[in-house]
Structure 1
């Protein structure tokens, strides 16, 4: 079984090293493709020293997550792998993580995608994995559960899926690349499931992308169009692709109105929905 792990990182040297250490402890023969998006904290040097076999790909400094993962995957598919393993570099994998991914796949379809449930370090709360059609975060169960909207923190993608639908779409800059890939898979008859139990611990990155509060209108729109925001052009592409032109237009109008309205009105009507958590 040949496995390629795909990661992208930026200035999280300690977390990146811990993640890779947990990975190699469990899968010592795994081939890792790591995009370092111009880190300035010595990440590449530290990784090279600790794990000399890691394929380090230098980023431009403007790739962020989705385009970083695309860059890593584009390099990895030059070789023949049975599985591609997406990893966020800020997680620590549990010893049984890969066994659980493989078992969940075997319980369903060998051509399905499995997204691992990730919990916080106190093991009190599920942070990532995927959501159902109502956008409710899926919780652990005795069986794998179908995902509508996939998170890309720990994901196992078999070669057969790549052969059918390709790799992540480079249109996406930071977010939505994982959600898009999961939806594209489902639209092509490929199921996406969670693991039965959490397989890693991680950090919550739950901040609001669609609206930045407490700043000027100019600053708010600058953030909206930034990679860490919710770029309306990319959002329109995503929503038109999966939900149709009408819904895409309605959502973009909504985003603009939401960002034009002052904080007081937004917080009065929507409460803390559009505040960083």
Structure 2
């Protein structure tokens, strides 16, 4: 059975909307595990009252994204999950989301999959997968590559984010869990899917289904909206910093081909040092 793992920290209104959308799924053969990492807005108590079908795990508030997700994955695997989906709480799933993800997963049982993402406010596509070059450090968006008539079915990508990421249990048994030791918050999802792809598991974006997301609510967007030298320091060295230099170094060493690694590291450091003020 599919188990959906949702890490949360506050933002109860997003969590409620996400869980309500899961209640409306046409396919209901799944279980939901919410991992509440120290919320102070009464999230756990409210979910216990309104969503009795959801299992809520509570942690102390110092796990950050990666360890929080791993806690839920361990619980899902202990319950016998054959597939696990990681899902952010600030998404809304259309009624056929789970049905279509599982349909395509049955066709490609060893594949990791993520959905096409639409802006919840406008309905416009905001993420449709990427092809990344470790040589040039450049990303090509499939939304720019694929024509309207090609935006259907599965398309291979280099890696995927954890928003709606469907993972067969076999992948965890082969690759392990997300790397909470070296990548406690950002890049753990990209690292995990990259590692899985390198070990022979296909990685696809599924254009047959989509999630509604809120791009302006991401941590990196919020940080860059109010730029400051303190924010710059957090960007480069904070655990939640999108440009964290240590995290990038670990990701690069684990995933970049050895012949490209020096140039990839240099390129990445420069982008992170100056990019905070340019985007």
Query: TM-score band, normalised by the shorter chain?
Result: 0.7 to 0.9
Structure 2 counterpart of 1:225, from 237, 253, 256: 237
Q: TM-score, normalised by structure 1?
A: 0.83
Q: TM-score, normalised by structure 2?
A: 0.82
Question: Do the aligned residues in 2 keep the contact of 1:88 with 1:153 (CA within 8 Å)?
Answer: yes
Unaligned runs of 5+ in 2: 133-137, 144-149
Deviation at 1:198, TM superposition (A): 4.3
Cα gap change, 1:190 to 1:256, in 2 (>3 Å): closer
Greater mean deviation of Cα atoms: 176-185 or 52-61: 52-61
Question: Do the aligned residues in 1 keep the contact of 2:235 with 2:276 (CA within 8 Å)?
Answer: no
1:183 and 2:190 correspond: no
1:148 and 2:158 correspond: yes
Structure 2 counterpart of 1:192, from 203, 207, 218: 203
Please name the residue that 1:43 is paired with: 43
Greater mean deviation of Cα atoms: 233-242 or 53-62: 53-62
1:201 and 2:212 correspond: yes
Please name the residue that 1:270 is paired with: none
Greater mean deviation of Cα atoms: 19-28 or 93-102: 19-28
Question: Do the aligned residues in 2 keep the contact of 1:239 with 1:247 (CA within 8 Å)?
Answer: no
Distance in 1 of aligned mates of 2:278 and 2:36: 27
Deviation at 1:50, TM superposition (A): 0.9
Aligned with 1:70: secondary structure? helix
Distance in 2 of aligned mates of 1:122 and 1:167: 33
Deviation at 1:38, TM superposition (A): 0.8
1:100 and 2:100 correspond: yes
Distance in 1 of aligned mates of 2:110 and 2:81: 14
Deviation at 1:245, TM superposition (A): 5.9
Structure 1 counterpart of 2:176, from 153, 163, 166: 166
Q: Say how many residue pairs are matched.
A: 263
Unaligned runs of 5+ in 1: 261-265, 267-272
Please name the residue that 2:12 is paired with: 13
Distance in 2 of aligned mates of 1:29 and 1:100: 13
Please name the residue that 1:234 is paired with: 247
Distance in 1 of aligned mates of 2:17 and 2:226: 34
Cα gap change, 1:159 to 1:255, in 2 (>3 Å): closer
Please name the residue that 2:69 is paired with: 69
Cα gap change, 1:219 to 1:274, in 2 (>3 Å): closer
Q: CA RMSD in A?
A: 2.8
Distance in 2 of aligned mates of 1:121 and 1:276: 26
Instruction: Write the deviation string for residues 104-132 of structure 1: whole angstroms up to 9, x where unpaired.
Output: 2344x211111111101144422335312
Cα gap change, 1:100 to 1:49, in 2 (>3 Å): same
Greater mean deviation of Cα atoms: 243-252 or 71-80: 243-252
Question: Do the aligned residues in 2 keep the contact of 1:65 with 1:174 (CA within 8 Å)?
Answer: yes
Distance in 1 of aligned mates of 2:272 and 2:160: 26
Deviation at 1:10, TM superposition (A): 0.9
Aligned with 2:220: secondary structure? coil
Aligned with 1:110: secondary structure? coil
Question: Do the aligned residues in 2 keep the contact of 1:114 with 1:195 (CA within 8 Å)?
Answer: yes
Question: Do the aligned residues in 2 keep the contact of 1:225 with 1:231 (CA within 8 Å)?
Answer: yes
Aligned with 2:210: secondary structure? strand
